[in-house]
Structure 1
């Protein structure tokens, strides 16, 4: 059965978590936003996925940098300072007594607010930004970390930044969703996506790496989100003396790779065992296993 990097074991505690909606902690079953909200109506907003590690949000500064830069790029006022937004995250964690828990993942979403009518022009917005924080008891499955996932290269490309800049972590994810649909219908777990020039770009929900002759390669980054786990893996490679390159490479390079893996906030470093029917490894290879350990060490240092 196909699975993805975001597969997790259901936890009954999630039925009663409190969702932070504009500063109010609301039972999950009652949490809602207006049908006139910009995010629901038009996908107009930015978001972050956050991992709680040792009682702290891992790499919080980097996540807030990306959130506020994205909001600035689309001329959206979040309405809270970084300190105020951090306090709201803390309120959500502590309001759910999650501070000492393991396996907590949060989705922070900010939209432009409520519109007076269904129309794309931001001048019809009549409220402050909508800010929602969804905390969940949600850890990646051990089998995902150990045995990996399968990828399928889809026809859906990562777009030119003049069309929709892939650097924006926006609520408008239809490009990635259509890629995911094609991959899952082909029997894979996630989609491998190419850039407009035919080079490997990224996956639909994670960043992609290959290992060739002791070197770690990832895309140039020109057509993908500025991934925080991606940049963390590049960092630990450099610290450990592992040659790492951000460069253009093709599917031929991918098919001939020794190992492959994907990265993301939810599952960290996940091995890729098969791409387009070509077997690479059985489970995680030695480089992936090493990088998983180095990444965990970096998280520990960040949250110390």
Structure 2
């Protein structure tokens, strides 16, 4: 798909400019080394108008990602949220995916560049993995070791591993890849967190080797509000294959159910699972049909 046209606006370092007029610094560390930080935010068309879902936590996390790897971040969260709403309005978008990106300046040494820029783009985009149940495969590729790059930093360069894993899985006919961590436990999908259901309890890999997503955290909060037991613990591949059901979570994806892992089909009918209950509650929350914010 094409993400911008002649009339698409982006926000770049304090100004709204046409997307096709921006210039690339061919000597930036972002281009040469993947030294940049990204975020993903959803805007939903609700009965209260266009609403960004948890924009403040997303921009706070973008700041934290930059701080963890030494990228300058001089911008204020409130200003970025306001500019994002202006950007949506300029592009006449009511429901959209928003991509903030912090890039770094030119420096061919392996030390932090002193300059950084922020660009915010937005486009219409449906659920990343669609709305039907998906088929996933255990990947031969691992999640990056947390001792190399902080696992809770959303750094662009880390997504090379995700691209490699997804490419390998899709070539074999699957929709998504499930990566293990360096200890052999299930970590997450290429860009989504994983939950499994077993005996009326939800389980999700504990933090340390995973990217702790904001949608994942929302599911934990919804589980508490709905009296659903959710346990964070290391999960083996055998735990995954023996589950009653499973689903993925992420800002771009939302919540999507998994039909099967490799040749193993989950026995529970998706509409009867705890994941489906969470999925419905999450949709109501993002569309502001029910005010779970009072609870969580």
TM more than 0.5 = yes
Unaligned runs of 5+ in 1: 1-9
Q: Which moved more, 1:18-27 or 1:34-43?
A: 18-27
Correspondence for 1:266 = 252
Decide whether aligned partners of structure 1 residues 226 and 14 sit closer, same or farther in structure 2, where only a CA change above 3 A counts. farther
CA distance in 2, matches of 1:201, 1:28: 36
CA distance in 2, matches of 1:32, 1:262: 36
Correspondence for 1:38 = 29
- Within the alignment, does 1:213 sit opposite 2:199 as a pair? yes
- Within the alignment, does 1:70 sit opposite 2:65 as a pair? yes
- Measure how far apart 1:42 and its partner are: 1.4
Q: Partner of 2:228: helix, strand, or coil?
A: coil
CA distance in 1, matches of 2:199, 2:53: 31
> How many matched pairs?
285
Decide whether aligned partners of structure 1 residues 239 and 177 sit closer, same or farther in structure 2, where only a CA change above 3 A counts. same
Cα RMSD after superposing both structures: 2.3
- Within the alignment, does 1:85 sit opposite 2:80 as a pair? yes
Decide whether aligned partners of structure 1 residues 214 and 19 sit closer, same or farther in structure 2, where only a CA change above 3 A counts. same
Q: Partner of 1:133: helix, strand, or coil?
A: strand
Unaligned runs of 5+ in 2: none
Q: Which moved more, 1:11-20 or 1:76-85?
A: 11-20
Decide whether aligned partners of structure 1 residues 13 and 63 sit closer, same or farther in structure 2, where only a CA change above 3 A counts. closer
Q: 2:210 aligns with which of 184, 209, 224?
A: 224
- Measure how far apart 1:26 and its partner are: 2.8
Correspondence for 1:238 = 224
- Within the alignment, does 1:155 sit opposite 2:145 as a pair? no
- Measure how far apart 1:118 and its partner are: 3.0
- Within the alignment, does 1:26 sit opposite 2:11 as a pair? no
* Structure 2 contact 30–103 (Cα < 8 Å) conserved: yes
- Measure how far apart 1:14 and its partner are: 5.7
Decide whether aligned partners of structure 1 residues 36 and 11 sit closer, same or farther in structure 2, where only a CA change above 3 A counts. closer
- Measure how far apart 1:297 and its partner are: 2.8
CA distance in 2, matches of 1:226, 1:130: 25
* TM-score in terms of structure 2 length: 0.88
Correspondence for 1:171 = 156
Greater relative contact order (Cα < 8 A, sep 6+): 1
* Structure 1 contact 215–244 (Cα < 8 Å) conserved: yes
Q: Partner of 2:88: helix, strand, or coil?
A: helix
Correspondence for 1:136 = 123
* TM-score in terms of structure 1 length: 0.86
